[in-house]
Amino acid sequence: MTLSSVSIALTGSGGAGVMTAGQILLDAAAKAGFYGLMGRTLGPQIRGGESAALLRLATGPVDGPDDGYDILLAFDWGNIERFQDELPLNTGGLIIADPHQGAVPDIMLTGDDIRTAMVPFHDLAKPIAGGRVNMVGLGLIAALIGLDPAFLLDRVARQLAGKGEAALEASRAALAAGAAAAADIAGVSPLAAPAPRTGDRWSITGNDAAGLGAIQGGVRFCAAYPITPATDILEWLAPNLPKVGGTLVQCEDELASINMIIGSSFGGTPSLTATSGPGLALMTESLGLAVASETPVVVVNVQRGGPSTGIPTKSEQADLNIAVNGLHGDAPHVVTAPLSIGDCLFTTQWSVHLAEAMQTAVIVLSDQTLGQSRAIIDPPADLAFVGKRRVPERIEAPYERYAVTADGVSPMALPGQEGGAYTGDGLEHDPVGHPSTQTAHHQAQLDKRRRKVEGFDYGDHWAEVDGDPDADIAIVTWGSTAAPAREAMARARALGFKVRLVAVRLIHPVPVDRLRYALSGVSRVLVVEQNHDGQYWRHLRAHMDLPGTVAALHRPGPVGLRPREILARLQSQ
């Protein structure tokens, strides 16, 4: 028997090199023609401490984890009780551990038909000069799943580039020792052979994808204040923006970063910042300024467990409320959410386009699961979305920066443009931009700002709609939860259920008509998300009546929703 997907968790304390091993395995599998992804879980320690590389390798594209792991390789058991709940094993799962690290802890053996295999990784690595246990482990895993070790060696060689032949030889020997040890472990089905590769594949994290989407969308200025798990976006943009003539500046805080990008955008440069919950909270006053002054900005908010400092290193989808409702006053703006790791590119690029086209603030709700997981994907198609602002061609006096137009968008003069000088203002204003407290001006400007975002043609990108057109039940979900929802739907359909999936990219404004159309004919709706309070479910209910019986499946992080949970709810609803 061969498998179409295998899930592997590598765990160990700092120094065991599980992240390095995981990335080598993922990229080697990609070279061999597999798809896959790798998430990670880290303890609270700044350096070292327990960590786990969470891999899934498959013959076709995958964008989320399976219910559990088929193989768990533990180089040691340091602090396993702190994150054991993030490492569920599939029925019949195999635990591979080093006997010198003690017996397999009982808490790891609670699943069904769990098997164990003891492999003395440290003893196997010891006789090899410079041999490392993580390489022994990699050799073992590759042999078990049927991955040609040549691909591993190729990736190891890249990693060791410049470290000399001896280092490479040590790795080669360690991989071979691991492969030999695999012969003693029976009952693991290898992966089926992948379809032959036709072109390049990409190995990319959601955060890097968001950075690339930003640049492709036209962003040339970024102001940055570090915060986990958003920092990677900023760190990717720092060396890459200058390559295209852009700039990234590190600021003193998020109040500065949001205002810096409002300033650069006022000057005509498409601008973005990235942050996480606490930073978004600090930015909300100024996001209102961007809305009122009609200055386009994009904030990528990579959600982590909240509230307050919460669980900074782990994922949750609990910033929807603040992203949608955090601004004071009536402040229409746009909130989007990427639907997979690779989609962080599209959604960010699209969001830059939306911000520039509507001259407003767009918040992208990514999360730690999307941002810090790495996926093997087919290179994305070139996208037509490049931010384009409506700028007046000829200016007649008096220039009305906030002219009340049919679609609500007013041509925006840029500094340097003759005759276009105006004062951008967060004070309510008349069409020219002069401060005004008059009822009529306030009404007209509120109306136009709402018209802009509600009348905009978001096209087909508002959601991914998939599944059976004649289904009686639909899953409605958003963000990273789209991945387990897709898989739950696939399993349900394999069991003969008809299911429809609406994975929504446009969170706000709620695309009421499109949603209604996408849900037409269903009599049951299941709203799925990863937060305690059911934020999206409440948000939808505030804006529209969902058809038929509505149920909500929502629970907090840090463990992501699994296909099994969603499938069970589909079957019981």
Binding residue for other proteins, selected from 112, 165, 198, 243, defined by CB under 8 A: 243
For the CB of residue 277, give the shortest distance to other proteins in the complex, in Å. 20
**How crowded is the C-beta side of 1, counted as CA atoms within 13 Å?**
8
Is residue 422 within the footprint of other proteins (CB under 8 A)?
Answer: yes
Residue 507 neighbours by CB distance under 10 Å: 24
Nearest by Cα to 564 from 4, 64, 8: 64
* Contact positions with other proteins (CB under 8 A) in 360-379: 376, 379
Backbone angles phi, psi at 548, to 5 degrees: 65, -150
- φ, ψ of residue 488 to 5 degrees: the values are -60, -40
Q: Which of 297, 312, 318, 329 is nearest to 365 (CA)?
A: 318
Of positions 247, 321, 325, 405, contacts other proteins by CB under 8 A: 247
- CB-nearer residue toward other proteins: 120 or 263: 263
For other proteins, which stretch binds (CB under 8 A), given 356-364, 409-417, 468-476, 555-563? 409-417
Cis omega (within 30 of 0) for bond into 398: yes
Which CB sits closer to other proteins, 115 or 434? Answer: 434
| Angstrom distance (rounded) from CA 341 to CA 483 | 9
**What is the smallest separation between the CB atom of 335 and other proteins, expressed in angstroms?**
21
Smallest gap from residue 216 Cβ to other proteins (A): 6
Q: Which stretch binds other proteins (CB under 8 A): 74-82, 136-144, 415-423, 489-497?
A: 415-423
Quick one: which segment of 103-111, 124-132, 307-315, 411-419 binds other proteins (CB under 8 A)?
411-419
Question: According to CB under 8 A, which residues from 3 to 42 bind other proteins?
Answer: 27, 30-31
Q: Is 159 in the site for other proteins (CB under 8 A)?
A: no
Asked if residue 196 has a cis previous peptide bond (ω within 30° of 0), the answer is no
The answer to whether 461 touches 455, Cβ cutoff 8 Å, is no
Quote the radius of gyration of the chain (alpha carbons, Å).
Answer: 26
Residue closer to other proteins by CB (options 199, 496) is 199
- Choose, by CB under 8 A, the member of 9, 215, 365, 463 that binds other proteins: 215
CA distance 471 to 473: 6
Closest distance of CB 366 from other proteins, Å: 17
Number of residues that bind other proteins (CB under 8 A): 68
Q: Least CB distance from residue 11 to other proteins, whole Å?
A: 24
Residue 510: partners with Cβ closer than 8 Å, 6 or more residues away? 539, 540, 543, 544
Identify the burial level of 140 via C-beta atoms within 10 angstroms of its C-beta, where 0-12 means exposed, 13-18 middle and 19 or more buried. Answer: buried
By CB under 8 A, tell whether 382 contacts other proteins: yes
Footprint on this chain of other proteins (rule: CB under 8 A): 27, 30-31, 200-204, 208, 212, 215-216, 220-221, 223, 240-247, 249, 251-253, 255-257, 259-269, 271, 285-286, 288-289, 293, 376, 379-380, 382, 413, 415-427, 433-435
